[in-house]
Amino acid sequence: MQFDKALQSLCDADVDFVVVGDHARSSTRRLVSALTPFHPRPRGLADLPFIWDEATLRNSTVLTLQTDIGEIDLLAEVAGLGSFEDVKRHSITLEAYERKVATLDLPGLIQAKRAAGREKDLSIIPELESLLESGRD
């Protein structure tokens, strides 16, 4: 996964998005434009007819994509947090790959992991809670 290219492209296209762990979600037209050069297609469904446009994006709450720069998941909402606006309220800005990027804060990430409830999400919670308790948000 080339996080740098993905995040730089989204930032440079002025896309409003929040990184959730290693997932991202954002507004439609700019997002379509930002990811088009990387040829998004449905992951694991190479033979399925697929058009990468605003309509596809608007009609999907979850899109799991394979792109030329790696796997990207787009989420309209996050379990445990709610809509994109709710997610933004739980976000924090950091500087990475020479851009300013919004990502979930620690309490929000813990809430989302707990709500997801999968083994791989639950097993990381003690580590995240330790970071939170050590004073780092």
Q: Which residues bind another protein (CB under 8 A)?
A: 1-4, 70, 88, 91-97, 102-103, 105, 126-127, 129-137
Minimum distance, C-beta of residue 17 to another protein, in the bound complex (Å): 13
Based on CB atoms, which residue is closest to another protein, 40 or 108?
Answer: 108
**Residue found under tokens 């979600």:** 25
**Residue found under tokens 């991202």:** 24
Of 48, 18, 61, 52, the closest CA to residue 33 belongs to 52
Minimum distance, C-beta of residue 67 to another protein, in the bound complex (Å): 13
Based on CB atoms, which residue is closest to another protein, 86 or 105?
Answer: 105
Q: Which residues of 54-64 are buried (b: 16+ CB within 10 A; e: fewer)?
A: eeebeeeeebe
Greatest pairwise CA separation for the chain in angstroms: 49
Based on CB atoms, which residue is closest to another protein, 4 or 14?
Answer: 4
Minimum distance, C-beta of residue 4 to another protein, in the bound complex (Å): 6
